[in-house]
Structure 1
């Protein structure tokens, strides 16, 4: 990887961090006091000095531009993008005037912090000075629910003295930010900052009154508490499948109560909460406790529960980590499995790819894969490739999905 790649990726990430979403507001825009800035006279003096310097060095502009480009290619990020360098106080506290975090005493002198409205960004000093980026983590506050997902993860909520609620987000680097030519692994100081970021951010405090609650607005038990009770009541009292479908729920919960092998959905069906798209916020899944088959999925959209999708015995879902898989029995001998990721703060899936097994006599391909969104165009693959794709889809994730019986939510 070339140094030039580092700054391009890093620069894009940080510019995006500064842009936000339409409708989002920063603390300053909401009337909060910003961090101290230069006076008008200081700014005018600086601009005058810059003009004089520009005139004096005009003849060397070509050479300097070349040197600047080289510096940026080495991972340099200017302070206009990442904010104003801010020194910690005697207690290790770093503040942007609206919020502050407290850095561990043992890391004193090993980091540089840059602050701007709504942001605190922390860099490992040695890597930053060597122009290898050095970005370890950033903290951001926003009123928008559309600013997290991708590189940013929601970790809590800050309520200011006037009652305005801000989503608190953490961001990590997307690529190597230290001198990888000298160090194959993270330098000790960088590792301490990077791996300790979550604990550091948990020390966040509002500077102008209010409260920060770590984890607020991220846990399914809180987001979906009322919705879970509502769903359980509907399932328990449904007189037929139509009632369930009218309530945007799967008819499966009624179907299992019928026939010789009738089951009580209050015992056999359950609810699970976990974050399937790594945006920091849980989704809610309703499904079969024994098989793990999911028949209804709910997401948090603008902080409120929203129904995503329903399934049935021939078209159900599963999840055990990042992403969701849909299992479709198209007909006898023909089955399709689709891998998708739920788009953050929406009820829309982002398709990844799909695989098909067609064991009928008229099959064009027995094993095939599709990469288009609608899974309409199929390419032949080998059995080995099919099994590899299936294994990748169903690989155990780092999230243990635990369905709790519906009766526990009554």
Structure 2
């Protein structure tokens, strides 16, 4: 048990280190009225997000455009906003808030290179991809402001602010390429478009009966060797995959694992995400140590041979994204059932070395049920992919 616990704590330490319909559109002709002028970037909070020394353009036109893309504001919000425009971003600000001396940022639409660590930015989500005239591919993203960037007079949001915020998704639907570029809505987001080559490798591994050493060499969990030995040709029916946006950045992750007999939870042995438009393997487990996707958190589960069970709670943003980490965590909140520590009362909360709290079953279940909420995911067997080959 001590050896297993040491392995588990080691895994947790490594985890904390790692924790680290499409259509082309072009600029539309829309009648518009408004004004456009140059503004000193140093005067705005929004400028702080742009390159130092760059100049932003202020506009109240319905069509707002830079050298990469344009957006069209809805008629019903005309006169309520000010657009601040730089080379890659368009910031929509509440005109009333700005007149009252507040930054008033409502949302930002940006073309970001995939090498940028934009996952450090809260509430940012990808909606599609923009291909510029020189062939460069940008992620088109939507972001709500920080409190400092929004700032309302007397801490209250105006009605016009909320109306502009409600128009955000509609505005994203009007993105168009400029100067020969084009925008593809929904590109680079759905798992079925991103991970097919990865899944084909899993089918090959099962059919060719790869051993654990080869599986690990290829960046895959060794768990599939045992599944293959137990179920033989039926292993492809046992091993499942699913897509889910665990990090809430708009791009789905790939989850590979199994649903054992008598259980309903999808045990995830491998997790992939996208970095620079390519799949990256970020987390791996095995038969006794796997992952479960939650509504708010990612759970790392260890289940030993002597009835001990550990559920470790992590932020998906912190745990999944490898070098794309957002750099913060919800901590290591670990739920433990371990009869070897107390046979009569085996329920514990664990918060670090030598920090065990033995609790009653009622207290354990109340906290566990409040924090551990499994995400509804419908995995599909790998055999479906094999049949399509």
Q: Which TM bucket (shorter chain)?
A: 0.7 to 0.9
1:286 to 223, 240, 256: 256
- From the CA coordinates, give the structure whose radius of gyration is larger: 1
Long gaps (5+) in structure 2: 1-35, 50-54
Look up the SS of the partner of 2:76 in the other structure.
Answer: helix
1:160 is aligned to 132
Aligned to 2:106: 136
Asked if 1:202 is matched to 2:178, the reply is: no
More displaced 10-residue stretch of structure 1: 307-316 or 173-182: 173-182
Give the TM-score taking structure 2 as reference length.
Answer: 0.73
Q: Deviations over 1:239-289 (max 9, x none)?
A: 544443443322333323445x77822222211111111222221101224
Contact 1:145 1:303 (8 Å CA) reproduced:
no
Distance across 2 between alignment mates of 1:321 and 1:153: 17
CA 1:395–1:124 in structure 2 vs 1: closer, same or farther (change >3 Å)? same
Contact 1:153 1:171 (C-alpha < 8 Å) held by counterparts: yes
| Contact 2:283 2:320 (8 Å CA) reproduced | no
* SS, match of residue 162 in structure 1: coil
Segment drifting more, 169-178 vs 320-329: 169-178
- Give the secondary structure class of the aligned counterpart of 1:233: helix
Query: RMSD of aligned C-alpha atoms?
Result: 3.3
Alignment of 1:97-116 (within 5 A): 97-116=67-86
**Counterpart residue number, 1:391:** 369
- Quote how far apart the aligned CAs of 1:347 are: 7.6
Gap change, CA 1:243 and 1:224, over 3 Å in 2? same
- 2 CA distance for matches of 1:247 and 1:403? 23
Q: Which whole-Å CA distance do the structure 2 matches of 1:163 and 1:171 have between them?
A: 25
- Alignment CA distance shift 1:125-1:327 (3 Å): same
CA gap 1:365/1:313 in 2 versus in 1, 3 angstroms: same
Runs of 4+ in 1 over 6 A off after TM superposition: 347-350
Give the superposition deviation at 1:350. 6.2
The 8 Å contact of residues 256 and 263 in structure 1, kept in 2 or not, is answered as no
Structure 2 residue corresponding to 1:368, chosen from 341, 349, 352: 349
How far apart are the structure 2 equivalents of 1:175 and 1:253? 47
Structure 1 length-normalised TM? 0.70
Which residue, out of 271, 275, 291, partners 2:241?
271
The correspondence of residues 45-60 of structure 1 with structure 2, limited to 5 A, is none
Paired with 1:246 and 1:355, the residues of 2 have a C-alpha distance of 30
Task: Decide which moves more: 261-270 or 210-219.
Answer: 261-270
Pairing of 1:302-341 with structure 2 (within 5 A): 302-330=276-304, 332-340=306-314, 341=316
Q: Does 1 or 2 have the higher relative contact order (CA < 8 Å, sep 6+)?
A: 2
Contact conserved, 2:282 with 2:322, CA < 8 A, in 1?
Answer: no
Q: Give the Cα separation in 2 of the matches to 1:133 and 1:332.
A: 59
Taking the aligned partners of 1:119 and 1:100, their CA distance within structure 2 comes to 10
What count of residue pairs does the alignment treat as equivalent?
A: 329
Q: In structure 1, how many angstroms separate the alpha carbons of the residues matched to 2:46 and 2:287?
A: 56
Check the 8 A contact 2:335/2:368 in 1, yes or no.
no
Which of 77, 87, 95 is residue 117 of structure 1 equivalent to? 87
Give, in whole Å, the separation in 1 of the partners of 2:132 and 2:143. Answer: 22
